[in-house]
Amino acid sequence: MGIDGTTKIVGIFGAPVAHTASPAMHNAAFAALGLNWLYLPFHVEPSHLRAALDGIRCLGLAGVNLTVPHKVLALAMLDDVDDEVRRIGAVNTVSIADGRLRGHNTDAAGFSTAIQEEFGLSLRGTRVLILGAGGAARAIAVRCAGEGAAAIWIANRTPANAESIVRAVGDRAHVASLRSLPEADLVVNATSVGLHEGDSLGLPAKFFSARHCVFDTIYRPAETELLRTARQAGARVANGTGMLLHQGARAFEIWTGEKAPLSVMRDALQAAIEGNA
């Protein structure tokens, strides 16, 4: 598709943004559907975020994704956000209608779709142990509550951060320790531990069994120490690629109103992740 005067432009605001796999995933989807759309990376420093968001209006962009460090900062700079976004306290997708900027959190929906797809598991009635209490953990915990998880245990290095999520999520959530692990059906790593060679959460294999589903929000490396340990102990495991795919697919659908071509997006995402390794 050639770029011309009618090309619709979306993109991602982040700092850094150089290693993002999102342009590959979205541009492949636009090409597959023959849409005259383009997805671009924008390196935006936090001090410029307000001006950049205004730029969506001024330049006529059709929307953007937001990544580190903008997901929380942007919340106060938008015209409309839905209830789930407010409870999560973070926004990763912005759309525009009638000149108003609207915030969405497609990470949350992306998580539940990935869990369903990877494990055939519905969050309803599931006991979930979330490791970590940052932005990703918060989106996951709010979604688990919204979909009727039976218990949401949050274990974090800094208990005060876990308490803050518990307050946002309500009575099914509890600050927990790793001792809850044997009772959980689904274990989710939402910490950044595992991104680097030699990182370890220190969970022993004896904590895991075949009844566990273990999901790591990290997708590079493809297998963290947590996933390796859990897999070797017989648990079912999945990395964060599916969550990244489905948050992107949801954003694509919000912007274009078209059904996202999932297999095209998945292949492009995988190639970009491997190419960036």
Q: How far apart are CA 85 and CA 76, in angstroms?
A: 11
Q: How far apart are CA 196 and CA 129, in angstroms?
A: 22
Among 221, 219, 211, 218, residue whose Cα is nearest residue 186: 211
Q: Which one among 192, 200, 209, 232 touches ligand ATR, defined by CB under 6 A?
A: 192
Q: Which stretch binds ligand ATR (CB under 6 A): 19-27, 107-115, 151-159, 177-185?
A: 151-159
User: Using CB under 6 A, which residues numbered 71 to 90 contact ligand ATR?
Assistant: none
Q: How far apart are CA 103 and CA 56, in angstroms?
A: 13
- Active-site residues, by number, are 71
User: Using CB under 6 A, which residues numbered 118 to 137 contact ligand ATR?
Assistant: 132-137
Q: Which one among 128, 176, 193, 272 touches ligand ATR, defined by CB under 6 A?
A: 193
Closest residue to ligand ATR, judged by C-beta, is: 134
**Nearest residue (CB) to ligand ATR, 160 versus 210:** 160
**Nearest residue (CB) to ligand ATR, 158 versus 209:** 158
Q: Does 191 bind ligand ATR (CB under 6 A)?
A: yes
Q: How far is the CB of 210 from ligand ATR (least distance, A)?
A: 27
Distances (CA, A) of 18 to 12, 68, 151, 237: 11, 12, 38, 29
The site for ligand ATR, by CB under 6 A, has a size of 14
Q: How far apart are CA 164 and CA 152, in angstroms?
A: 13
Q: Which stretch binds ligand ATR (CB under 6 A): 92-100, 150-158, 164-172, 257-265?
A: 150-158
Return the C-alpha torsion angle 99, 101, 106, 108, nearest 10: -140
**Nearest residue (CB) to ligand ATR, 24 versus 140:** 140
63-66 vs 93-97, strand pairing mode: antiparallel
**Nearest residue (CB) to ligand ATR, 136 versus 151:** 136
Q: How far is the CB of 136 from ligand ATR (least distance, A)?
A: 3
User: How would DSSP label each residue in 180-198?
Assistant: GGGG-SEEEE-SSTTSSTT
User: Using CB under 6 A, which residues numbered 8 to 67 contact ligand ATR?
Assistant: none
**Nearest residue (CB) to ligand ATR, 158 versus 232:** 158
Q: What is the DSSP letter of 82?
A: -
Q: What is the DSSP letter of 205?
A: G
Give the footprint of ligand ATR on this chain (CB under 6 A).
132-137, 156-158, 161, 190-193
